[in-house]
Amino acid sequence: MKQEALISIQIMGQVYEVPENLTVMKAVEYAGYQYVRGCGCRGGICGACGTFYRMPGDYQLLSGLACQTVIQAGMMIMQLPYVPVNRQVYDLDALNGNGAPVSSSTLHESVRSLFPEIFKCVGCATCTRTCPMGIDVMDYVALIGRGELEKAAETSFSCVMCGLCAIRCPAQISQHTAAMYVRRLSGRFLIPRSAHLRHRVEEIRSGKYDDSLARLKGMGKEEATRLYAAREREPDLAEPGEWKPK
C-alpha cells in the first residue's frame, strides 16, 4: 500500500508534517489537537470550526471551515476558539401577546430595535465572499433592511452560524445572528402553518405513539440496528440502483 506523501504546515505557530489531501480538521487532529468544543461532524455544533489561514507569499488572510478546507503545503492555520457577538434576548410571544396577527412593519421594527447595525451595511460584499456556505450574505442583509423578512429568511437558510461573515465585516455587523432572528420570525409569523404537521402533533399529544416509543426504548442494540437498516427510506435518499419515482 502506497504511503501518502507528507507536507509541512503550521498550526497555531507550530510546524507539523501531515499527509497531503487532508482537510484542515483532519490535519489538526493528525497533529494531536482535539476539537473540544465539539464541531458538528464531531458530535457538536455545525459551524464551530472556523479557520483563518495564510499561504506563503500571499498577502491575503483567508478563511473557511476546517471540515471543508483542504490543506496545502506551507499553509499557516489559526483556529478560532469562538466568535464573540452580542447575544440579543427577545421574546417572540411578546410580539403578539393577545394572539392577534402581527404586521410586517411591527416585525421589521423589532429587527431594527434588536439589530440596528444591520442598517450600517456599506455594500462591500466582503461577507458574501467570506461565507463558506456560498450564501449571498449581503443580499439577505439588504432584504432585511428593506423589510423583506421572509425572503431574507429563505436566502439565509443554509447558514451554519460560523460567524466568519461578522469577523470580516468592516461595518461590524453580526449578520448571522440577525439572520437567525429573521428565520425565527418567519417560521413563527410569516410561513403558513402546515396542516399535516398540526395533525401529527395532535396525534403525538393524544398518546398514539407512546407504545411504539416504549418498544423502541426497550430494544437491544442488535434489534434496533436491524430495524434501522430495514426502515422505509425517502425516495430521494435511495441508494444508487434503487427505485426512484419519476
Tally of structural domains, the chain? 2
**And the C-alpha cell for 121?**
451595511
Residue that finishes a domain, picked among 79, 106, 139? 79
Helix axes 175-185, 104-114, angle to 10 degrees: 150
Classify residue 221: in a domain, yes or no: no
In a domain, residue 162? The reply is yes
What pLDDT is stored for residue 235 in this prediction? 60
Residues 72 and 134 in one domain: no
pLDDT-based confidence at residue 1 (cuts at 50, 70, 90)? low
Mean pLDDT, residues 44-72: 92
Q: What is the pLDDT of residue 202?
A: 94
- 64/97 same-domain check: no
Asked if the structure places residue 229 within a domain, the reply is: no
Give me the domain span that covers residue 178: 92-190
Q: What is the DSSP string of 63-74?
A: EEETTTPBP-TT
- Dihedral angle at the C-alpha atoms of 155, 158, 159, 160, nearest 10 degrees? 170
Is residue 31 very low, low, confident or very high in pLDDT (cuts 50, 70, 90)?
A: very high
Q: Are 97 and 87 in contact (CB under 8 A)?
A: no
- In terms of domains, do 70 and 99 share one? no
- Residues 100 and 20 reside in one and the same domain: no
Q: Average pLDDT in the 89-113 region?
A: 87
Residue finishing a domain among 172, 190, 208: 190
Same domain, residue pair 167 and 114: yes
* Whether 105 and 182 share a structural domain: yes
Q: Please give the torsion angle defined by the CA atoms of residues 89, 95, 97 and 100, in that order, rounded to the nearest 10 degrees.
A: -160
Which pLDDT belongs to residue 173?
A: 94
Q: Please tell me the predicted confidence (pLDDT) of residue 2.
A: 62
pLDDT class of 240 with cuts at 50, 70, 90: very low
Of the listed ranges 43-47, 208-212, 222-226, the one predicted with least confidence: 43-47
pLDDT at residue number 99: 65
Q: Is residue 242 part of a domain?
A: no
Question: Do 69 and 145 reside in the same domain of the chain?
Answer: no
Asked if residue 22 is part of any domain, the answer here is yes
Instruction: Tell me the helices (H) and strands (E) count for the chain, helix number first.
Output: 10, 5
Taking only the tens place, the pLDDT of each residue in 153-201 is: 999 999 999 999 999 999 999 999 999 999 999 999 998 888 888 899 9
Q: Across the strands, what pairs with 23?
A: 70
Task: Please say if the pLDDT value at position 243 is more than 50.
Answer: no
Q: Read off the pTM.
A: 0.76
Return the ∠ at Cα 31 (arms to 25 and 35), rounded to 5°: 45
Per the prediction, the chain carries an average pLDDT of: 89
Q: Is residue 73 part of a domain?
A: yes
Residue 35 shares a structural domain with residue 63:
yes
Q: Given 79, 101, 135, which residue is the final one in a domain?
A: 79
Q: Cα 61 to chain center, whole Å?
A: 22
Residue 168 lies in a domain: yes
Q: What pLDDT does residue 242 have?
A: 44
Q: What is the CATH number of the domain that holds 184?
A: 1.10.1060
CA neighbor of 17 nearest in space, from 66, 65, 73, 64: 73
Q: Is the domain of 107 the same as that of 144?
A: yes
Least reliable range by pLDDT among 28-32, 45-49, 121-125, 146-150: 45-49
Distance of CA 87 to the CA centre of its chain: 17
**Residue 59, domain CATH:** 3.10.20.30
Helix (H, G, I), strand (E, B) or coil at 238: coil
Is the confidence at residue 142, as pLDDT, over 60?
yes
